[in-house]
Structures are given as structure tokens and as C-alpha cells.
Amino acid sequence: MPFVPHTPQDVEEMLEAVNLQSVDDLFEDIPRQFRFENLDLPDGKSEMEVFEYIKRLSNQNATQLTSFLGAGFYDHYIPAAIDPIVTRGEYLTAYTPYQPEVSQGTLQSIYEYQSMICRLTGMEVSNASLYDGGTALYEAIMMSMRVTKRSKILMCSGVNPIYRKMIETYTTNLNIELIETPIKHGQLERDVIGEQLDKSIAAVIMQNPTFFGSVDDYSDVCNMAHEVGALAIMSVYPISLSIIKDPGSMGVDIVTGEGQSLGIPLGFGGPYLGFMATRKKLARKMPGRICGTTVDSKGRKSYVLTLQAREQHIRREKAMSNVCTNVGLMALRSVVYMALVGKQGFVEVGQECFNRAEFAKEKLNAIPGVQVKESAPTFNELTVELPVPAKNIMPDMIEKGYAAGWPLDRYYPEMKNYILMAFTEKHTQEQISGMCNALEEVLCRF
Amino acid sequence: MSVLIFEKSQPGRRGITFSNSSDQYKTRIDKRFLREEPPALPEVSELDVIRHYTSLSQKNFSIDTNFYPLGSCTMKYNPRLNEKVASLEGFANLHPLMAQLQYGGQLTQGALRLIHEIEQYLCEICGMKAFTMQPMAGAHGELTGLLLIRAYHEDKGNQKTKILIPDAAHGTNPASAAIAGYDCITIPTGENGCMDMEAYEAALGPDVAGVMLTCPNTVGLFNPNIDKVTELAHKHDALVYYDGANMNAIMGRARPGDLGFDVIHINLHKTFSTPHGGGGPGGGPVGVSEKLIPYLPISQVEKRKDGTFTLNYDCPKSIGYLSAFYGNFMVNLRAYTFMLRLGGNGMKRASDMAVLNANYVRAKLADKYNLMYPRICMHEVVFDASKQAENGVHALDIAKALLDKGLHAPTMYFPLVIKEALMIEPTESESKQTIDEFIEAMRELADIAETDPDWFKETPRTTRVSRVDEVAAAKNMDLAY
Amino acid sequence: MVPENLYYTEEHEWIRIEDGQATLGITDHAQKELGDITYVELPDIDDEFDSGDDIAVVESVKAAADVYAPLSGIITEVNEGLEDEPELVNASPYEKGWICKFSDFDENDLEDLMSPQQYKDFIEG
């Protein structure tokens, strides 16, 4: 690929200007025995060749299956107007907006993103985003320890096990005690948490809906946490906030979540969008970039990254976090998504997800031996009990064209007969019925 | 001018609608679980949205519209093929858990092959033995590297508490070391612009777990004693971390693995042309030497004997899960596309021209701006505005004045060891003509700094807003509408 | 500006002793170096600390400076006025911009601090 524009003439003139004979002379500081000759890699290829190769790889992935996979990462409809905006070079190829004079576009979009996240969650301040839902939850834990100066965390077992695995990795070297709080019949055990909570607890971590799909009102748990000076932290699924009670009105102090469902493709695991919002009084303890308003020297309203004294480029080892980025383009995708679907469309999406799951409940429960765990209300995801190990039905279901869901035994060995199924506005009733019929047929073989 | 999307909202106006299948389920959930009012998102048409965000975009500088000589950031051109491959449905619509269903590997062979191949490419480019694509940004890669170092020492029963970091390091280095549970010891810069070897040797000891270095360093210099630095660390069983932020200088010229580095992160959004996106997403894959392989994060892509690919979760000594799945796959995909197009020969040429561009700038501006370390630099050159500061014109003023010329500011006041630093990284994708224009602008500003220093105070004059009141922003804390 | 009758530290803090109680703030030199102060993170009353602990943070737009305890002690009072008007540290570093008061320190430790003249030499040297 002719990536460098230099002509032989350019190179000659530039070498002359720096008073060197050859390009090799530029690398004299590299110790002689370590100078490398040539990378053992193929030579460059044409754009067409590379595209054809990558396209061939992309065809070796089973995206033709009708998928009911979720587990925190959902296949929602992505409106057509998102890509044309986000791929504009002025957004795509801009740097972090450290020079506000030439970054008002990015900065205002961040401010609008922060505002929308606050409106979704019922919080007062949001940062400009973090890597993903799991790292956002980890950062919330670290933040709660800074605020309370305590180091014990109560982790509800309804929190996504993928996040919990990540948090274990991040915290093993730190002086943090993670204590599990069980759920029973889809709901957090209030008696147990009542006993676990005391003045040594920094925060209670909840997830709504839980990993298993159940919805709850955690207002009482937030109160219990506050009574002992602990913070209430909640990881949420943003689409559910269209109809489900928002964490702000439950009394939650820090809200985090995975924003992938807000217009971001599944993309085999990322990049995604970690969001984080909190109360104003905790803003200075929050990690990540934050955009605020101000005026310029002529008195015009402008936007600027603010509260930077919290961050690593100023505080170094005393920073709130080592995070040095937000996921700007993903935040932009989500802000355009939220603007496009708007107030009414957002509720429609949420209601449709709920409706599909309710429809699926009826269909699934009609299959002999199949039962949806239903001791608590759900939003769009169901824990379904099968008469046989969930793993065993997968190959036949895949053959019939369905990725029916995620067998739960990977993180819960005792739940080998359970499968987690997610439903979104993209699923038609025909697809759901088709999957249920296929499941019934497959189960007959066992 | 800066009307918010919320201010354009009109009750009842719609952008996109969704079919409403049925109201029969609405009552199936108790009101106490529901919110009273829907979130107050804007009510606007699709055209409102398109026009609003298009007009906002026009208030940005970007690589596509402006030259970005931003030191340490490697703002090279982002080829559009990267975006085209990212829109391929076979990747964009692929649920990450598809790989974990039974027969799972079978359902995502293309994606797993891609991860494997990019790891192989990075191993060759960096001279490392294995790579993980999981870290989601450079700083995330740093944390990964430090967790690997920690796991190595704990496995060996080593009692180590300290990480040595030069004073010129990126701020993320000490921040990452701190959250990995280490104490940071700062090593000063010596007279040649590289880490002071005497101070370094004195700081080394049995309690040192590792050393974090950027090479070439943030002053833009390649430490000619780098092999001695790694050798000395290894004598104390301290591991050496390579901050790959400046990898764009040495592709095909030197390999960190050959120089003795044990662990390295690469910023894909710098060296491998994935878009900066106004602040992310990034990609920070981490490479390791032989002795750190057992500790790599879960999961790992493995090639089976039959040539197919699978995910290995059975890694008993692993540090664990760093990202939910396989890192920022779509960023990795873009980076791999770039690597394939350049090839081994093209990558070497890219680094060569990046270094030539920086040295050309150095030669052409050395009479106007002070150079604290006047020697051949790598892919970036660090001047300072100390001469101009005598007239009251500071690095910030020069940077702001450049904006008026349609040129992005260089990195200022970094590295911290150089006062009034102006750090310039032209990158290889810029032509001699563009760089000549930049040089001309910088020379002109140096002249104005002598004749009319007050002129700078009002710069920039032509941008959408002028200098903003950052103190007011921090005090008012208006962070949401 | 280096007032008499105060003790000083190398970290640019001052201490005033009155009635067995110590008042702590940052010096005029320090506030000038930091620039416009945007926020002061105050300690909590009854916090116990040892000399060398960081007990407060003074933030400007471009910097965050830890305030280190020059002596050990217990916080008795904090300057709540700084919550709304952190700029008092700039305008009046030795009077209205004080940060906190504390008791239970060891008077002998005061000897380790700098006199006004020593501090003047320190910042000029």
C-alpha cells in the first residue's frame, strides 16, 4: 500500500536537510547487534486483495443463525442514520478534545451524552464513558472505596458472572474483600444482606435486571446500605430503563452499565461502551473524562474537559484511575441512537423487548418438560429449565438454524439443565415460535 | 450556535418508530417495578439528528481535515478500508458468545483465525513470544502487563514491591503501577536525555519487581544503552516493561523482544492506524517473553493440529479475565487490515519515513526553537519555547496560534522534564509539502514572538470559540443538561 | 509574602499556633504556583493523622497538590468557607484561606519546621 507519500526526490532533499547520507543513518542509536534487517512477514497487498481476504474470514462466522444469545450483550436494531454520522472523518479521526477551540463538536456531543445518561439513570452527573460494562463496575467499586475509605464490598450474586470474573482479576492484588450476597427465587435475600451490612462495608453491588433476567425494586436495599454509610452501586441494562424503575429513584449512588445495546454492533465482543453516572456530590471522586460548560474569552458558551485534576496525566500514581481514554466513538453512537429513537421510540423498544419475552414464556412453558423460572418479574431475558443438559441440545438446535441461548453451566456447574434466552425487538413472533417448535422437536430425541 | 439537541425537541416529534405488536402484556408487571415517566430523551426528526450532528462535526479539527503534529499520539491517516471491513456483517453482527456454544469454535472460525493471525504478526513485529488481544486501550495494556509481572513474581515466591519509572514517563505508567498494587520509584533523566544510569543502578535491588520504559523515550530519543538497562534489571529478576506508545519509530528496525524486554503493550490507535475517534475506543494488545506465557489472560485462541481454531479456558496460572470476551475485536480487525496492506516491507518504510519527517522538522526549526537534546531523534522531536518565553510567549501561546493556521497544536508541557515543551510528531503519512507548510508556520510564529509578543494573547482568533475559561468550568460543574 | 510568627514547611504549608491549637494553610508562594484554585478537599473533623500523611488536596485546573501534615494531631475544625469559595486560598492564603485546625500535636516537633527567614531563603534559593 502506498501509505507514505514520499517520492525519492523528497527523501533525498530531506536527508540533505538533516545532513545524513541514508535513512539507515537515522537509526545509529540502536545498538548495532540489535539492528533488525527485515520483518519475516509478507509484503504489502492491494486494497482489493486485503478486502477479499478479510471478507472471506468474515464469511466463516455463523451470523446466519437466529440468535437468542444475550447475557448482557444484545442484538438490537441499529438505525441507519448512525453510521453516516459516526463515520464522518471529523468525528472518526479527531483526537481527544484537549484543545477546546477546535473540538467543540466532540465536546458538545459528550455533554449531550452525559445528559442523556443522567436522564436514563436518574443521576446528576455522568462521565464521558469507560471501556465497557465490566470495567465500569470495577471503577465504581474503586470509587466507593475512595469515598467511604472502607474496603469490603457486598456483591449480589445476580451480578453478571463475566463482570465478576473481571473484577476478581483487577482486585486480587489490592486490599479488597469481595463478599457474595445470595439471591433466592430471583430476588436478593434481604435477611442475609441485613446481616452482612455493617460499618465496614464500602458498597453493595446490585444488577437490575439480574444476570438471570429478574427485575426488582431495590429501594429498601439502598436504604439499608445508606444507614451504615455504605454506597449503593447498580449495574443496569440501559434499554430496560425505558420502562423499568430507574436507579436514581431507588436511591442508588453510582450507576454503571454496558451501553452496547444503544446502537453499537455486537462485533464479537467490542469495542463496547461502559457508562457511569453518580450524584453531584461524588463527582470529584469519579474516574474518567468529564465535559462541562463554560464561556470563552468573548463570553460565548463553550464546552471543555473539566475536573482534570482527578486524572492520571496530572495526578500520576495518585489518580482516581489509570484510565486515559473514553470510548468516544461508542458514546457518540449511543447519543445518536438515543436522539433518533427519542422519548417515545425508546419506550417502544423497551416495551417490545418485554412483549417478546412474555410471548416466549407462553410458548416455552407449553413445551413438555420446559419451564421458565418465573418467581420474579422479568424484562427481556429468561432463565429456562430444560429436561436435559442445555449443552446437549445445542448442536441439533444449531443445525435447525438457532443459537437458542447460552447454557448456564459454564459459570454455574449446578445449573447444567438451564439456558439463558434473550429477546429483543428484532425477533419476530414467527422466529420465536420457530425456535420453540425446533426445541420441542429436538427434545423429543432425548 | 451551540444549541443542544434537547433544545430542538418538540413534543410528539419522531425520529424512528418501531412496530407495536401488542398491548396485551403491558399489565404483566407490577407498577412498583416500573418507572413513572419515560426518560426525557429528545423528540426530534431524523433530519434534525443528521443536521445537528453534522453541524457539530464541523466544529472539530480532525486528521481528515487538518495536520496534527501531536507528539506521542501518532496521528497518522486512518485508511478507509479499515472502516469498510468493520461493516462486514460476519463480524459486526457476531455475538461474542457464539464462540462459546458447544461446537462453538466452529461457529466463529473466521474471527478466531483473525485473532490468531494478528497475534502472530505482532509477535514478529515486536520480537515477542506470545500476544493477547484482550486489553482495550494502552493504559489497560499497562495494567495487564503489571498484573503479569506480579503473577510471575508471586508464582516464583519473589517478594517484590517496587516498580521503577523514569520521570519522563507517560502519566499512565505510575497510575497503572499504583492500581496493580506497586509502589512507584521515579528515576531522573540524565544529561543525554535518557534515563540516568547511575540513579537507575542505585535504585535496582531485590525488591524491584519491574521497570517501565518507553523506547524511544518521550523525549524522542532512543537510549543507546537500552540493552544494558534490560540486562541490569534481569540480574535482579526484575522484569522490563515496554510502553509501546512510541513503537511507530522502530518497526522493522529493532524489536523490543530482542532488546530484552519481557512485556510490551502496543497502541493500535497509534501505530496501526485505527481511528482515535475523539477519544477512543483504543486497543492495547500485550506481548510477552517466554517466561510470562503461563500467566496470559483467559481466554486464549489456539490453533489445533487440523488447522482449525479454538478458545482455551484452561489456564491455571492465568491472571484471569481482563475484558468480557476477546478485547476490542473490531479495533483489532482494523489494525490487522492495516498490517496486511502495508506488509513487512511497508511497515519498515512507515517507521523510516516517520523518523525522517521528525528529523526534517528538527533540522528546519533548530535555529528558531530551543532543542534541549540536539541529536538525531526518532519519530518525534521535542523543542521548547524557552527562547520565546523570555518575551512572554509560552508553549501554550504558540500552540493556540497554530490553530489559527489550521494546524493542530503539538503536545505541550510534556514530557514534564522539559519546561515549555513542544513535542512534535509529524507521522509518516504526511508529505514533505505539508510538513514544509508547518515549518513555515512555526518559523513565522517564532519571528512574531520576537517582534510582537502581545499578538499571541488573543490567539486563536479564527476558531469556533476562543480560549475558554477552564477555572469557571471546574467551579461551576455544569456537567449535564 | 512570608508573614512573621508562623512556622513553614518545605511543602509550602504554614502553621499558626494559638491557644494550644494549630491552624494550617498553604503559603502565598504555593497558591501562586498552583494558579486559580478550583477546589479544596478538606479533612473530616476528628480525623487522626501522623506527620507526613496527606490530609487535604488543593486543586487548580492544571494541578492537584496534596497537603501533608507537618505534625501529627487530630482535626478540630475545617474551613467550610472553602467549599463554596476555594478562591479564598488565592486571595487570602494566610487568613481567610486557612484549611484546617488541629490539636494534640507535639510542641517539640515545631522545632523541625522552618522559620519565616528560613522559608524565605528556601523559596528564593
- Clarify whether residues A255 and A370 are in a common domain: no
Report the distance separating Cα A128 and Cα B443, nearest Å: 37
Among all residues of chain B, which has the CA nearest to that of C87? B475
Domain final position from A302, A336, A370? A336
- B44 lies in the same domain as B120: no
The three grid cell numbers given for residue A255, joined into one nine-digit string: 450507576
pLDDT 10s per residue in chain A (446 long)?
A: 689 999 999 999 999 999 999 999 999 999 999 999 889 999 999 999 999 999 999 999 998 999 999 999 999 999 999 999 999 999 999 999 999 999 999 999 999 999 999 999 999 999 999 999 999 999 999 999 999 999 999 999 999 999 999 999 999 888 899 999 998 888 899 999 999 999 999 999 999 999 999 999 999 999 999 999 999 999 999 999 999 999 999 999 999 999 999 999 999 999 999 999 999 999 999 999 999 999 999 999 999 999 888 877 777 777 777 887 889 999 999 999 999 999 999 999 999 999 999 999 999 999 999 999 877 899 999 999 999 999 999 999 999 999 999 999 989 999 999 999 999 999 999 999 999 999 999 999 88
> What's residue A259's pLDDT?
98
- Read off the amino acid at residue A127: N
- Check which CATH number belongs to the domain holding B301 and give it: 3.40.640.10
Are A359 and A259 members of one domain? Answer: no
Answer whether A29 sits within 8 Å of B87, measured CB to CB.
no
Q: A324 and A378: one domain?
A: no
Instruction: Answer yes or no: is pLDDT of B406 > 80.
Output: yes
In this structure, the answer to whether residues B172 and B254 fall within a common structural domain is yes
Query: Chain B partners of C38 at a C-beta cutoff of 8 Å?
Result: 471, 474-475
Q: Which of B471, B476, B478, B479 to mutate to test the interface with C (most CBs of C within 10 A)?
A: B471
- Is B235 part of a structural domain of the chain? yes
Residue A56 lies in a domain: no
pLDDT tens track for C97-122: 999 999 999 989 999 999 999 999 99
Which residues 243-302 of chain B have a CB within 8 Å of chain A?
250-255, 258-259, 275-282, 297
User: How many angstroms separate the Cα of A148 from the Cα of each of A171, A218, B213?
Assistant: 17, 21, 35
Q: Is residue A15 part of a domain?
A: no
The answer on A133 and A248 residing in a single domain is yes
B460 in a structural domain: no
Task: Specify the pairing of strand A125-126 against strand A274-278.
Answer: antiparallel
Write down the residue that cell numbers 501554550 correspond to: B396
Q: Tell me how many residue pairs between chain A and chain B have CB atoms under 8 A apart.
A: 697
Q: Please determine, for residue B171, whether its predicted confidence score (pLDDT) is greater than 90.
A: no
Under an 8 A CB cutoff, do A106 and B279 touch? Answer: yes
Is A229 contained in some domain?
A: yes
User: Cβ A348–B78 below 8 Å, yes or no?
Assistant: no
DSSP class per residue in B198-232: HHHHHH-STTEEEEEEESS-TTS---TTHHHHHHH
Sheet containing C54-60: give its strands across. C37-41, C54-60, C64-68
- Which CATH number do you get for residue A196? 3.40.640.10
Task: Write phi, then psi, for A418 (nearest 5 degrees).
Answer: -110, 145
Residue B372 inside a domain? The answer is no
* pLDDT bracket for residue B24 (50, 70, 90): confident
pLDDT digits (tens, 9 = 90+) for B326-379: 999 999 999 999 999 999 999 999 999 999 999 999 999 999 999 999 999 999
Q: How many domains does chain A have?
A: 2
Confirm or reject contact between B475 and chain C (CB < 8 A).
yes
* Domain finish residue from A321, A336, A351: A336
Nearest to A314 among C38, C63, C66 (CB): C63
Residue B308 is assigned to a structural domain of this protein:
yes
A383 and A435 housed in the same domain? yes
Rounded Cα gap, residues B42 and A344, in angstroms: 9
Partner B contacted by A26 (CB < 8 A): yes
H helical segments located in chain C: 28-34, 81-84, 88-91, 116-124
Is the residue at A228 inside a domain? yes
A358 shares its domain with A432: yes
Q: Which residue of C has its CA nearest to B477?
A: C38
Q: Of A104, A166, A280, which has the smallest distance from its Cβ to B464's Cβ?
A: A104
Smallest CA–CA distance from B477 into chain A, residue: A292
Rounded to the nearest angstrom, the minimum Cα separation between B341 and chain C is 41
Residues A434 and A294 in one domain: no
- Whether A42 maps to a domain, the answer reads no
Distance CA(A423)–CA(A67), nearest Å, equals: 9
Q: For chain B, what is the mean pLDDT?
A: 94
Exposure of A382 in the CB half-sphere (CA atoms within 13 A): 26
Same domain, A207 and A286: yes
Q: What is the 3-state secondary structure (H, E, C) of chain A?
A: CCCCCCCHHHHHHHHHHHCCCCHHHHHCCCCHHHCCCCCCCCECCCHHHHHHHHHHHHCCECCCCEECCCCCCCCCCCCCCHHHHHCCHHHHCCCCCCCHHHEHHHHHHHHHHHHHHHHHHCCCEECCCECCHHHHHHHHHHHHHHHHCCCEEEEECCCCHHHHHHHHHHHCCCCCEEEEECEECCEECHHHHHHHCCCCEEEEEEEECCCCCECCCCHHHHHHHHHCCCEEEEEECHHHHHCECCHHHHCCCEEEEEHHHCCCCCHHHCCCCEEEEECHHHHHHCCCCCEEEEEECCCCEEEEECCHHHCHHHHHHHCCCCCCCCCHHHHHHHHHHHHHHHHHHHHHHHHHHHHHHHHHHHHHHCCCCCEECCCCCECCEEEEECCCCHHHHHHHHHHCCEECCEEHHHCCHHHCCEEEEECCCCCCHHHHHHHHHHHHHHHHCC
Give the domains, in start order, of chain C with CATH numbers.
Answer: 7-105 (2.40.50.100)
Task: Name the residue with cell 453451566.
Answer: A409
> For a pLDDT cut of 70, what percent of chain B falls above it?
99
**Dist CA C40 CA C36 (whole Å):** 11
**Chain B contact present for C86, CB below 8 A:** yes
Q: Are residues B156 and B16 part of one domain?
A: no
pLDDT of residue B1: 55
Which residues of A fall below an 8 Å CB-CB distance to C?
284, 308-310, 314-315, 318
Q: How confident is the model at residue B27 (pLDDT cuts 50, 70, 90)?
A: confident
Domain-ending residue, one of A314, A336, A358: A336
Residue range(s) defining the domain that contains residue B42: 5-57
Instruction: Give the best residue of C61, C66, C89 to mutate against chain B (max B CB count within 10 A).
Output: C61
Query: Please, what is the average pLDDT of chain C?
Result: 93
| Residue A279: DSSP 8-state | -
Identify the residue among B7, B10, B14, B18 best suited for mutation to test binding to A, counting A beta carbons within 10 A and taking the highest: B18
- pLDDT interval class at B104 (50, 70, 90): low
Same domain, B38 and B102: no
The model's confidence at residue C24, banded by pLDDT at 50, 70 and 90, is: very high
Does residue B307 form part of some domain?
A: yes
User: Given pLDDT bands bounded at 50, 70 and 90, which one contains residue C1?
Assistant: confident
* Per-residue pLDDT, A373: 85
Q: A225 vs A206, A220, A229, CA distance in Å?
A: 11, 9, 6
CA angle C85, A294, A114 (to 5 degrees): 105
Q: Could A126 and B480 be called an inter-chain contact, meaning their C-beta atoms sit closer than 8 Å?
A: yes
A129 with A180, same domain? Answer: yes
Query: How many domains does chain B divide into?
Result: 2
- Chain C stretch 13-52, residues whose beta carbon is closer than 8 A to a beta carbon of chain B: 36, 38-39
Q: Pick the last residue of a domain from B341, B376, B394.
A: B341
Question: Which CATH number is A378's domain given?
Answer: 3.90.1150.10
Instruction: Please indicate, yes or no, whether residues B105 and B34 belong to a single structural domain of this protein.
Output: no
Write down which residue in B341, B362, B388 finishes a domain.
B341
Question: Is B38 inside any structural domain?
Answer: yes
Is A368 domain-assigned?
yes
Name every chain C residue with its beta carbon within 8 A of the beta carbon of B477: none
B471 and chain C in contact, CB less than 8 A? yes
Determine, yes or no, domain membership for A16.
no
Q: Which chains touch C (3 or more CB pairs under 8 A)?
A: A, B
Out of B275, B308, B341, pick the residue that ends a domain: B341
Please indicate, yes or no, whether residues B261 and B329 belong to a single structural domain of this protein: yes
- Same-domain pairing of A261 and A389: no
* pLDDT, mean of residues B64-74: 94
Do A310 and A411 lie in one domain? The reply is no
Residue B287: name the closest of B72, B172, B135, B110 by CA.
Answer: B135
Residues in chain C closer than 8 A to B476 (CB atoms): none
Q: Please indicate, yes or no, whether residues A176 and A110 belong to a single structural domain of this protein.
A: yes
B304 in any annotated domain: yes
Residues B11 and B102 in one domain: no
How is C108-124 classified by DSSP, letter by letter? GGGGGSBPHHHHHHHHH
Domain-embedded: residue B41: yes
Q: Please give the residue that has the higher pLDDT: either A323 or B223.
A: B223
In a domain, A27, yes or no: no
If asked whether residues B143 and B277 sit together in one domain, one would say: yes
Q: How is residue B382 annotated by DSSP?
A: E
What backbone torsions phi and psi does residue A95 show, to the nearest 5 degrees? -85, 170
The domain in which residue A399 lies consists of 66-76+341-444
For residue A279, the model assigns a pLDDT of: 97
User: Do B45 and B153 belong to one domain?
Assistant: no
Chains that touch B (3 or more CB pairs under 8 A): A, C
Tell me which residue in B111, B136, B319 faces A271 most closely, judged by beta carbons: B136
> What CA–CA distance (Å, rounded) separates B144 from B264?
10
